Amino acid sequence: MSRPHRDAGGPDRVDAASFWQTHAGEAASHPPLRGGVETEFAIVGAGIAGLSLALQLAEAGREVVVVEESVPGAGALGASAGIVAPQLVRTTPRQVLSRLGRDVGGGWLRLVGESGGHLFGLIREHGIDCDARPHGFVAPARGADALRRLTSVVEEWRPFRQDLTILDATGVAALTGTEGYTAAVLDASGGGIDPVRLAHGLADRLVTAGGQLFHHSPATALTREQDAWRLVTTGGSVRAARVILCANGGNHRLHPLLRETVLPMRIHELVTHPLSAAMRAAVLPRGQALTDLEHDIFSIRWIAGDRLLTYYPVAAHATATAIEAAVNKRLRDMLRYHEPVGIAHLWQGVAWMNSSLLPRVVRLDERLLAVQACNGRGIATNAIVGREVARMLLSPTTYRPQIALDVPRRVRGFALARHLPTVLLHGARAMARWSRR
Ligand SMILES: Cc1cc2nc3c(=O)[nH]c(=O)nc-3n(C[C@H](O)[C@H](O)[C@H](O)COP(=O)(O)OP(=O)(O)OC[C@H]3O[C@@H](n4cnc5c(N)ncnc54)[C@H](O)[C@@H]3O)c2cc1C
C-alpha cells in the first residue's frame, strides 16, 4: 500500500500515514490504468464520495470506472478520526434555511439528518468489517446559555429528524466523563468506524458489482469531446459519457472553474497506547464519539484495543516530549478521570472547506459534476451525497433530488483565505484560553 508523503514542514514525530492506513492491512490490489477504456460513468477518487457513488451505479448494472491516484482511503477519509457525525459544521438549521431557502436548505438538512443511518446501513447491508460503532455522537458546549442554545438548535432540527436528545451538565458529565461542559446534543445516529477498512470494503463490493477500479492512476487532465469527456491519467485515458470528480482536494487541479474554490485545513490526530480498564470505564463508557467544535476544539473516541483517539493542534517544530506533555495536560483538563497516556501514532491530514461550510455538488456542464470539499465532517455526508448523485444520474427525469446542483464559486481573497482554516484551528485554543481569563 502506498503511503502519503511525510510532511516536510511538520515536526519529526508526525507519522507519514494514519493509524488506520498503517494497521488496515493491504487493500486488494488493482492495476493502474493502461491504454484507453470507454465507459458510461468515470469517477475520479476512491474516497467515501467516489466509492459510495460508484457502488450505487455499479449495483444498478451501469458501466463505471474509478481512477484513484493512490489506493482507496489514501485521502482525507483515511486520515480522518473516523467519527460519524451527522451534524452541520458551525452552522444551525435556521441559518441553512435562511441562506438556501426551504426547498434547497430543507433538502440538505434532511440528507445530513439521514446520513449517519445511511452509512451504518450501507456497512451492514454489505457486511463490511470496519469496526463500526453505531453508539452515537456527542456535540457538547460550554457556558451559561449552552442548554438554551442547544435546545433551540434541536428544535430547529425537529422537522427534519427526531433522533437528537439534549443533555444538561450532569447528563454530559455522566455520559462522557468530561469536565466543564454545561450541555450537549446526543445524536443517536452517529458513532465511529475504521475509515480505511471501510474504503477497502466499499472498493471490494464495487468490483464485485462489476465496477472497474484502477489504483495508482492520477487523473492529470480532462478534455471535452463531442458527446463525452476524456479523462487522462498518467498511464492511460478514459472516455466517458459522464465524469464525476470526487477527488476532494484534487478536484481544483482538474478544471479551471474549480480553481480557488476550496480552502485547505491541516488537522493532526493521534492515537494513544492501550489504556487501563479504569480509564476505559471513566471516559465515554458507552462508546459514543465526542467532538466539541465550538471554541476550544476537542475530540475523543475509543478505537480498537482500548486506545483513545484525539485531536491535538501540533505546532511546527514541537518535540515528541512536548507534544506528549501537552496532550496529557489537555486530557487532564478535560477529563474527570485521567491517567498519563503515551502517544502511539500521530499524523496529519488535510480536510478541504467550502466557504459556506455546507456540502456542495457543482455542475460544470451537462456531462461533468464535482462533489466539492468535505468541511471536516464529511464521512457520513459525502457517503449520502454519493448516493444522491447516483440517484440523479440513474433517473435524471423522474428522481427529485434532495440536493440542488450549484455553480463553482471562487473564494474571495483566496491568497489570504487559504491559510485561514488552519490558522483558526490552531488559534482556537489560544483564543479560548484568552477569553476565559
Ligand atoms: C485529519 C482529518 C480528520 C477528519 N476527521 C473526520 C471525522 O472524524 N469525521 C468526519 O465525518 N470527517 C472527518 N474528516 C473529513 C473527512 O475525512 C472527509 O470529509 C471525507 O473523508 C471526504 O471524503 P471524499 O471522498 O470527498 O475525499 P477523500 O477521502 O479525500 O477522497 C478523495 C480521493 O481522491 C483521490 N485523488 C485526489 N486527486 C486525484 C486525482 N487527480 N486523480 C485520482 N485520484 C485523486 C485521493 O487519493 C483520495 O483517495 C477529517 C479529515 C481530516 C483530514
Q: What would the pLDDT profile of 167-205 be if each residue is shown by its tens digit?
A: 999 999 999 999 999 999 999 999 999 999 999 999 999
CB 83 within 8 Å of CB 192: yes
What distance in angstroms lies between residue 413's CA and the mean position of ligand 1's atoms? Answer: 24
Specify the higher pLDDT residue, 114 or 425.
114
Ligand 1 contacts CB of residue 82 (under 6 A): yes
Q: Residue 228 pLDDT more than 90?
A: yes
Q: What would the pLDDT profile of 242-268 be if each residue is shown by its tens digit?
A: 999 999 999 999 999 999 999 998 999
Helix (H, G, I), strand (E, B) or coil at 50: helix
Model confidence band, residue 25 (pLDDT cutoffs 50, 70, 90): confident
Ligand 1 contacts CB of residue 184 (under 6 A): no
CB 311 within 8 Å of CB 317: no
Ligand 1 contacts CB of residue 245 (under 6 A): no
- Nearest-angstrom CA–CA distance, 413 and 313: 25
Closest ligand 1 atom number to CA of residue 51: 25
CB 226 within 8 Å of CB 241: no
Strands annotated E in 169-259: 183-187, 191-192, 212-214, 219-225, 228-233, 236-245
Ligand 1 contacts CB of residue 45 (under 6 A): yes
Question: In angstroms, what CA-CA distances link 69 with 25, 49, 66, 127?
Answer: 19, 15, 10, 26
CA nearest ligand 1 atom 33, residue: 45
Q: Residue 421 pLDDT more than 90?
A: no
What distance in angstroms lies between residue 291's CA and the mean position of ligand 1's atoms? Answer: 18
Burial label for 305, CB within 10 Å (0-12, 13-18, 19+), is: exposed
Burial label for 186, CB within 10 Å (0-12, 13-18, 19+), is: buried
Percent of the chain with pLDDT over 90: 78
What distance in angstroms lies between residue 47's CA and the mean position of ligand 1's atoms? Answer: 6
pLDDT, mean of residues 401-407: 87
Cα distance between the two ends of the chain: 48
Q: What would the pLDDT profile of 266-321 be if each residue is shown by its tens digit?
A: 999 999 999 999 999 999 999 999 999 887 789 999 998 899 999 988 887 888 89
Q: Residue 430 pLDDT more than 80?
A: no
- Go through the domains of the chain in sequence order and give each one's CATH number: 19-81+196-261+355-412 (3.50.50.60)
- Going by C-alpha positions, the residue among 387, 410, 352 that lies closest to residue 119 is 387
What distance in angstroms lies between residue 74's CA and the mean position of ligand 1's atoms? Answer: 8
- Show the CA angle centred on residue 9, arms to residues 8 and 15, nearest 5°: 60
What distance in angstroms lies between residue 179's CA and the mean position of ligand 1's atoms? Answer: 32
pTM for the model: 0.94
- Nearest-angstrom CA–CA distance, 161 and 114: 8
What distance in angstroms lies between residue 410's CA and the mean position of ligand 1's atoms? Answer: 21
- Going by C-alpha positions, the residue among 47, 43, 38, 39 that lies closest to residue 70 is 47
Q: Residue 8 pLDDT more than 60?
A: no
Ligand 1 contacts CB of residue 80 (under 6 A): yes
Closest ligand 1 atom number to CA of residue 50: 25
What distance in angstroms lies between residue 249's CA and the mean position of ligand 1's atoms? Answer: 8
Q: What size, in residues, is the chain?
A: 437
Closest ligand 1 atom number to CA of residue 351: 53
Instruction: Provide CB contacts within 8 A for 342, sequence distance 6+.
Output: 272, 273, 324
CB 263 within 8 Å of CB 355: yes
Ligand 1 contacts CB of residue 378 (under 6 A): yes
Tell which one of 198, 379, 385, 388 to mutate to probe ligand 1, the residue whose CB is within 8 A of the most ligand atoms. Answer: 379
What distance in angstroms lies between residue 72's CA and the mean position of ligand 1's atoms? Answer: 10
Q: What would the pLDDT profile of 103-149 be if each residue is shown by its tens digit?
A: 999 999 999 999 999 999 999 999 999 999 999 999 999 999 999 99
Helix (H, G, I), strand (E, B) or coil at 222: strand
Instruction: Provide CB contacts within 8 A for 276, sequence distance 6+.
Output: 339
What distance in angstroms lies between residue 435's CA and the mean position of ligand 1's atoms? Answer: 33
| Residues in a beta bridge with 229 | 224, 240
Specify the higher pLDDT residue, 229 or 318.
229
pLDDT at 424: 64
